[in-house]
Amino acid sequence: MQEVTKLQGAIDSQGERAVSRQTVYVYETAVRLWHWINALAITVLCISGYLIGSPPPSVPGEASAYYLMGYIRFAHFSAGYVLAIGFLFRLYWAFVGNRYSKQIFVPPVWNKLWRWGLVYELKWYLFLVKDPKKYIGHNPLGHAAMSSFVVVLIFMICSGFALYSQGAGNDSWQFALFGWVFSIWPNAQDVHTWHHLGMWSIVIFAIIHVYAAIREDILSRQSTISSIVSGERVFRDDFRN
């Protein structure tokens, strides 16, 4: 397998070769739009969610003059809807978009080359190999991280709407669709706790994700940050091939 590293041009995470060229259009407009809307919604959700768990200091005076918790929760729920609708849209796009739009939903764990790439990429992060491989879509390690993120996202949406249904009432559509969460955790206190831990796992994902994106952008042989802005993957060492 070692010779894969010596191949010219780029392969995608499953070994599909592309003609050697310097830019490939990877992230379609819809995917990029979703990425940034999603990132924004998550930022709002994390801040407002944290404040729901640990509210700001008490405000003095008459209750009728304030709606602080109300606004915090409103921000959380609105961003929650944006996140959920955005996710449904992104799921739809996986069916109609290009091959890379499907990646985050299907980690090809059955593919040997992909698994090899996963280990190789891990070694690259552990400074054990000299050069990273080039990938058109996500590299296998990034791919695995993205797919895990999707799982957490689904969990946050399900648990979030289940909690929402408690306020909306047992005859709400939210309860009809997401009430099953309370069959797993009969006491909503546990759902709060898991939802809260879910936030921290997303915060950790985001920290690593942004670090890796910046680092790859500087070090590796391909663009990353500009790719999620413009959609194009630029391979910087392919000019002479």
Partner 1 sequence: MSAQIETFYELIRRQGITRRSFVKFCSLTAASLGLGPTGAASVAQALETKPRVPVIWMHGLECTCCTESFIRSAHPLAKDVVLSMISLDYNDTIMAAAGHQAEAILQETRQKYKGQYILAVEGNPPLNEDGMFCIDGGRPFVERLTEMASDAMAVVAWGTCASWGCVQAAKPNPTHAVPIDKVIRNKPIVKVPGCPPIAEVMTGVITFVTMFGRLPDLDRQGRPKMFYSQRIHDKCYRRPHFDAGQFVEEWDDDGARKGFCLYKMGCKGPTTYNACSTTRWNGGVSFPIQSGHGCIGCSEDGFWDKGSFYDRLTGINAFGVERNADQIGLAAVGVVGAGIAVHAGITAVRQLTTKPRDNIKTISSDPTNPNAG
- Per-residue interface string for the shown chain with partner 1, residues 104-133, x marking contact by CB under 8 A: ---------------------x-x--xx--
Which does residue 206 touch among partner 1, ligand HEM, none (CB within 5 to 8 A, set by kind)? ligand HEM
Q: What is the CA radius of gyration of the chain?
A: 21
Spatial contact of 22 and 134, defined as CB atoms under 8 Å apart: no
2 binds partner 1 (CB under 8 A): no
Site size toward partner 1 (CB under 8 A) is 57
Rule CB under 6 A: which residues touch ligand HEM?
31, 35, 38-39, 42, 45-46, 49-50, 52-53, 73, 76-77, 80, 83-84, 103-104, 138, 142, 146, 149, 156-157, 160-161, 163-164, 192, 195-196, 199, 202, 205-206, 209-210, 213, 224-225, 227-228
Which does residue 68 touch among partner 1, ligand HEM, none (CB within 5 to 8 A, set by kind)? partner 1
Burial class (CB in 10 A: 0-12, 13-18, 19+), 141: buried
Rounded (10°) CA dihedral 81, 86, 92, 97: 180
**CB nearer partner 1, residue 91 or residue 177:** 177
How many residues in the chain?
241
Minimum CB–partner distance for residue 123 and ligand HEM (Å): 18
**CB nearer partner 1, residue 14 or residue 148:** 148
The string over 217-227, giving b where at least 16 C-beta atoms fall within 10 Å of a residue's C-beta and e elsewhere, is eeebbbbbeeb
CA 27/CA 137 separation, integer angstroms: 8
**CB nearer partner 1, residue 101 or residue 223:** 223
Q: What is the 3-state secondary structure (H, E, C) of 183-202?
A: HHCCCHHHHHHHHHHHHHHH
| Among 3, 19, 57, 95, contact with partner 1 (rule: CB under 8 A) | 57
Minimum CB–partner distance for residue 67 and partner 1 (Å): 6
| Among 99, 102, 112, 236, contact with partner 1 (rule: CB under 8 A) | 236
Residue 240: partners with Cβ closer than 8 Å, 6 or more residues away: none
Minimum CB–partner distance for residue 72 and partner 1 (Å): 8
The type of residue at 234 is V
